[in-house]
Amino acid sequence: MPDVEQQIIPHPQRVIGLPGSSAAWYLATALASSHKVLIVAPNRKVAEELHDDMQFFVGPSEVILLPPWETLPVEPVSPSVENSAARIRALNTLSSAPRATVITSAD
């Protein structure tokens, strides 16, 4: 049985230390033939910067920012309407668009 990682990423590569917008350029070039991609950044600030940079290289219609929840599940406060709408818009685009790059953060 083939390795699952090899099915998802046929030729895995590790690239570190790309300064500024070069990470977005590298991702846009490497993922040009992919249909749908999920990129997980280490935090919200990096995700937003990568989103802005990727829009320049790929186009704004193909790059979506999936913002993290602003609240913890155990908190009695609901997330903001803007945050919920942005998440729904991102998930809808991911499910319906033929090509999409979704950027989110691990936090």
What pLDDT does residue 84 have? 84
- Which residues of the chain fall short of a pLDDT of 50? 1, 4-7
pLDDT at 4: 47
Q: What pTM was estimated for this model as a whole?
A: 0.74
- Write down the pLDDT at residue 49: 92
- Check if the beta carbon of residue 105 is closer than 8 Å to that of residue 46: yes
Half-sphere exposure of 84 (CA within 13 A, CB side): 6
Instruction: Please give the order of strands across the beta sheet that includes 100-105.
Output: 36-41, 100-105, 63-65
State the Cα–Cα distance between residues 73 and 68, nearest whole angstrom. Answer: 12
